[in-house]
């Protein structure tokens, strides 16, 4: 009979700075699923981990235990190489919506299980659900069939996949233990590796509008995740990208879907496509579908120019019950009752667009969640947003506000005027793509 691992003993060891072994970490994760650890005991160990940290070996044990807390999707029937991407979250980051069909059009299957937004960052699932009828709650069997048929599926986390992560993340969110690199690593990888993928690419963001503001900490996260994933047999790279101003010209669920459709038609914003191509190149390279970065980028551009990527988007929307007509008529997406332009108070050049300021304006309009149980308004947000370096004249539109009331629009306008700065001298946009880790 094995040694009984009492929760308080495991908590005390980590509290005192000890390295936990595989059995202790497995007991903690198992206890989060079967209820043998009380919420206050789980929370105590999470705080001890937050304060004391974890070694690479502990982080690998935690990731493994969380992955094995549920099933791992069997995608062996899908013959194409299977690649996914994960972003640590940013403002206007709708890259998944158009990148997934682009990569699928290049012959690489994309099994993507995404989450909802909380706070200032938007969730891929919320954006997809802006498409009338779109169903994100596919079962594992439906997910597998769709991947085999069209090579693409964007769904929400099922009850079978990494159930420990759902429990532990909920506790982290209310105990101020979210910003902990080992816990972030285990959370991301347990979900992503449960998808049944062959390779993974991370878009790790840093800057004002990112989850991790400090570049050094974001890089540390990228190194830890790629190292642990590779140790578990999954080739993984991380693309470091800046998040100082919003990506693209739209922030808000339906508005971002419309912008992603524009990307699939070859009309994407420069900064948005810069990140899209950088991440997409790594997906094709890791999956063995391209000979080099130049070849990968050429394949991705052809997927757009040929119409194949837009075709894949249509197939995915149809397969998941959505209104396919949004690909040709974005007017079928939810529309806010009030749309108003925000005029520039002076002439000059846009010198700053604070991603967090824009995000909070969109959140105020109802595009995001302050609490997990909040409902989002898919129609509201901002679009036609100016970029750093753009010339403007007094009265020119800095963006267009989509609101449900005149009062909400007025308050958001005040927030946006503080977020967008117009100066007399032109400033060049900052570099977005920094380095690739693990390549």
Active site residues: 86, 165, 172, 187, 191
H or E segment and range at residue 26:
helix 22-34
Residue 40 corresponds to which tokens in the numbers above? Answer: 């206050």
* Nearest residue to 395 via CA among 348, 346, 340: 346
d(CA 379, CA 373): 18
β-strand partners of 399: 342
128 phi/psi in degrees, rounded to 5: -65, -35
Q: Is the dihedral of CA 257, 196, 28, 238 positive or negative?
A: negative
Cα→Cα distances 424→115, 309, 352, 421, Å: 41, 41, 12, 10
In angstroms, the first-to-last Cα distance of the chain is 45
Assess contact for 396 and 342: CB atoms under 8 A. Answer: no
- Other residues' Cβ atoms within 10 Å of the Cβ of residue 390: 18
Q: Is the dihedral of CA 220, 214, 91, 49 positive or negative?
A: positive
Assess contact for 64 and 193: CB atoms under 8 A. Answer: no
d(CA 67, CA 187): 9
Q: Is the dihedral of CA 278, 284, 288, 294 positive or negative?
A: negative
In a 13 Å sphere around the CA of 118, the CA atoms on its Cβ side amount to 12
* Nearest residue to 438 via CA among 303, 282, 310: 282
Q: What's CA 256's distance to the chain center, in Å? A: 13
* Nearest residue to 410 via CA among 364, 351, 356, 353: 364
């Amino acid at each position: 009979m094995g040694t009984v691992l009492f929760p308080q003993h495991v908590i005390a060891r980590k509290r005192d700075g000890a390295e936990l072994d595989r059995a202790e970490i497995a007991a903690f994760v198992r206890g989060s699923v079967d209820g043998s650890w009380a919420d206050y005991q789980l929370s105590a160990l999470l705080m001890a981990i937050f304060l004391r940290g974890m070694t690479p070996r502990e982080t690998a044990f935690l990731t493994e235990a969380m992955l094995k807390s549920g099933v791992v999707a069997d995608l062996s029937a899908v013959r194409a190489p299977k690649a996914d991407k994960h972003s640590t979250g940013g403002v206007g980051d709708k890259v998944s919506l158009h990148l997934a069909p682009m990569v699928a059009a290049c012959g690489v299957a994309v099994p993507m299980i995404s989450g909802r937004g909380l706070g200032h960052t938007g969730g891929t699932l919320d954006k997809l659900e802006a498409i009338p009828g779109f169903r994100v709650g596919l079962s594992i069997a439906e997910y597998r069939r769709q991947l085999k048929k069209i090579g693409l599926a964007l769904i929400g986390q099922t009850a079978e996949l990494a159930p420990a992560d759902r429990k532990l993340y909920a506790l982290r969110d209310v105990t101020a233990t979210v910003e902990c690199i080992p816990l972030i690593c285990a959370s991301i990888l347990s979900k992503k590796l449960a998808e049944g993928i062959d390779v993974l690419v991370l878009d790790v963001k840093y800057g004002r509008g990112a989850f991790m503001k400090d570049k050094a900490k974001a890089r540390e996260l990228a190194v830890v995740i790629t190292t642990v994933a590779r140790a578990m047999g999954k080739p993984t790279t991380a693309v470091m990208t800046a998040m100082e101003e919003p990506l693209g010209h739209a922030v808000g669920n339906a508005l971002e879907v419309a912008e992603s459709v524009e990307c699939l038609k070859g009309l994407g914003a420069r900064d948005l496509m810069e990140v899209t191509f950088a991440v997409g190149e790594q997906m094709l390279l890791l999956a063995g579908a391209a000979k080099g970065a130049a070849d990968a980028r050429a394949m991705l551009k052809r997927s757009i120019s040929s119409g194949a990527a837009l075709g894949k988007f249509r197939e995915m929307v149809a397969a998941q019950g959505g209104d396919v007509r949004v690909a040709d008529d974005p007017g079928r997406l939810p529309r806010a009752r009030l749309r108003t332009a925000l005029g520039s108070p002076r002439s000059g050049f846009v010198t700053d667009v604070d991603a967090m300021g824009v995000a909070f304006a969109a959140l105020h309009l109802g595009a995001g969640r302050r609490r997990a149980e909040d409902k989002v308004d898919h129609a509201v947000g901002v679009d036609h947003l100016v970029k750093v370096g753009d010339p403007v004249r007094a009265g020119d539109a800095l963006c267009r506000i989509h609101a449900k009331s005149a009062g909400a629009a007025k308050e958001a306008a005040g927030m946006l005027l503080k977020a967008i700065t117009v100066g007399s001298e032109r400033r060049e946009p900052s570099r977005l793509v920094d380095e690739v880790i693990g390549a």
